[in-house]
Amino acid sequence: MKEILINEFDYNLPEYKIAKHPLEKRSASKLLIYTSGKISESKSEAIASFLPAGGLIVFNDTKVIQARLIFHKDTGAKIEVFCLSPNSPADFESSFSAKNKCSWYCIVGNARKWKTGKIKLTTAIEGQQETIFAEQISRNKDNFTIEFSWENSTLNFAQILDNVGVTPIPPYLNRKSENADKDRYQTVYSAHKGSVAAPTAGLHFTNATIEDIKNKSIKTDFVTLHVGAGTFKPVKSESIGEHQMHAEFFSITTDTLKNIKANIGSITAVGTTSVRTLESLYWLGVKLINKASIEALAQWEIYNLPTDISINTALDALIKHAQANENKFSAHTKIMIAPGYKFKIVSRIITNFHQPKSTLLLLISAFVGENWKAIYQYALNNNFRFLSYGDSSLLEKQKP
């Protein structure tokens, strides 16, 4: 698998096929349906009619944070700080609640103009002028560790981001973030702050669409995976074995684990983030049974783990573990899902159309096989809109 060449997952995506803005109505987007090897199309608002009654649909309820902060040096130089994940406090909830200071792993734009010293951002928050400072603590090849500080002890870091941060829309949109993005680059069911990119398959859903799903006796449930900036990281190596996946934090409750176990064989995952979370669960259950650490799942680790443990047995182990830990389970996952992977949990995926030569396209190829080419060619030929603000697809897993 590591020898798979990324050029085999390339296709011509004209710039005009990339949706630069969302449609006025979320559920008005087009929906490609791929089932039993056949392709058809409809609208996202009708998705309930294409899902089997009695099944389970799983959404990712992460919430996008206003992760971009614009600072200025005394010289006037503009420095953009893109918050990736918390350093101290290390967990998201504690970092968002932090008063006076906290530190994050960040990407820094125009870093050559900022070697040392504090830079500042002055703005009005709730009618009061506030100054937020940023200072470099350390740096490595991939990112900086930045400490943020402010004097007003009634403000926490979440309030600062909400008031002065900018929505981190994808770089391939080639435009600045607009006020409308703050709402539209967010799912209607978003709940837990932590993502720096939206789980974009969920952008098509409205409360009415979800009600239609429930009215068809389809169960709904949620996992939380905080999407990292690595989701936009292109595969630059010739073979996928040289590409480094990013770690993403996810969490899930005992009740959701039980719901997943009860619906194996009829689970629809909304977005590749939900897929990564759901498939990680089986392998972490396998690790738990083998008395290995379950704090994280490495990129290629799953391909060296035992495969003779049943799905129910693996999930039972996780359920028991979660019950002993306040009825929730969390970990980090780096799994690379590529052609040759055998899906354990997910039977259908609702997902947007992804960039050429991306790890997300590798995942889709693993799910539908070589038919991904016909699916994408159909979308290109039939005026589907691509990438984050584009149209969607409902894909059925290829038969063994």
**318 and 190, same structural domain?**
yes
Nearest to 105 by CA among 122, 124, 92, 115: 92
Strand order in the sheet with 219-225: 38-43, 30-35, 392-396, 348-352, 267-270, 56-60, 219-225, 248-253, 328-333, 296-297
Residues whose CB falls within 8 Å of the CB of residue 121, separated by 6 or more in sequence, listed in order: 69, 70, 71, 72, 131, 132, 133, 134, 164
Residue 333: exposure state from Cβ atoms within 10 A (0-12, 13-18, ≥19) = buried
* Domain C-terminal end among 165, 195, 226: 165
119 in the same domain as 56: no
Q: Which residues contact 253 (CB under 8 A, 6 or more apart)?
A: 322, 327, 328, 329
Q: Are residues 157 and 225 in the same domain?
A: no
Q: Are residues 47 and 187 in the same domain?
A: yes
CA distance 296 to 249: 9
Residues 109 and 209 in one domain: no
**Inside any domain, residue 50:** yes
Is 172 a domain residue?
no
Q: Which of 57, 344, 339 is nearest to 220 (CA)?
A: 57
Q: Tell me the one-letter amino acid at 342.
A: K
**Per-residue burial over 291-319, b = 16 or more CB atoms within 10 Å of its CB, e = otherwise:** eeebeebebebbeeeeeebebeebbbbbb
The reply to whether 120 and 72 lie within a common domain is yes
> Which residues, 6 or more positions from 195, have their beta carbon under 8 angstroms from its beta carbon?
62, 63, 64, 65, 226, 227, 228
Cα–Cα distance measured from residue 201 to residue 224, given in angstroms and rounded to the nearest whole number: 14
Residue 176 lies in a domain: no
40 and 125 belong to one structural domain: no
Same domain for 78 and 225, yes or no, is no
- What number of CA atoms fall less than 13 Å from residue 202's CA on the CB side? 31
What DSSP letter does each residue of 286-327 carry, written as one string?
Answer: HHHHTT---SEE-TTGGGGS---S-HHHHHHHHHHHHHTTTT
Full domain range(s) for residue 345 = 6-64+183-396
Residue 307 is assigned to a structural domain of this protein: yes
Per-residue pLDDT of the chain (400 residues; tens, 9 = 90+): 899 999 999 999 999 999 999 999 999 999 999 999 999 999 999 999 999 999 999 999 999 999 999 998 888 889 999 999 999 999 999 999 999 999 999 999 998 899 888 999 998 888 889 999 999 999 887 789 999 999 998 999 999 999 999 999 998 899 999 999 999 999 999 999 999 999 999 999 999 999 999 999 999 999 999 998 877 777 889 999 999 898 899 999 999 999 999 999 999 999 999 999 999 999 999 999 999 999 999 999 999 999 999 999 999 999 999 999 999 999 999 999 999 999 999 999 999 999 999 999 999 999 999 999 999 999 999 999 999 999 999 999 988 7
If asked whether residues 304 and 318 sit together in one domain, one would say yes
The CA–CA distances, whole Å, from 398 to 275, 343, 370, 394 equal 15, 10, 10, 13
Around Cβ 94, how many Cβ atoms within 10 Å?
13
Q: In whole angstroms, what is the distance from residue 256 CA to residue 383 CA?
A: 37
The pLDDT value given to residue 156: 94
Here the CATH number for the domain that contains residue 269 is 3.40.1780.10
- pLDDT given at position 83: 95
Q: How far is CA 162 from CA 106, 148, 182, 214, in A?
A: 17, 15, 10, 32
> Could you tell me the pTM of the whole model?
0.94
| Cα distances (Å, whole numbers) of residue 387 to 28, 126, 188, 352, 396 | 16, 36, 19, 6, 20
Within a domain: residue 109?
yes
Rounded to an integer, what distance in angstroms lies between the CA atom of residue 370 and that of residue 24? 34
Is residue 260 domain-shared with residue 278, that is, in the same domain? yes
Residue 171 domain flag = no
Candidates 83, 104, 84, 89; CA nearest to 230 is 84
pLDDT of residue 214: 96
- Picking from 165, 197, 225, the residue at the C-terminal end of a domain is 165
Domain final residue, candidates 115, 135, 165: 165
Judge if 253 and 114 occupy the same domain: no
Same domain flag for 44 and 161? no
Question: What's the confidence (pLDDT) of residue 196?
Answer: 93
CB 216 within 8 A of CB 366: no
- The answer to the question of residue 260 being in a domain is yes
Domain membership of residue 175 (yes or no) is no
pLDDT at position 99 is 94
Q: How far is CA 31 from CA 17, 40, 118, 146, 351, in A?
A: 15, 9, 49, 42, 10
Cis omega (within 30 of 0) for bond into 14: no
Task: Give me the number of domains the chain comprises.
Answer: 2
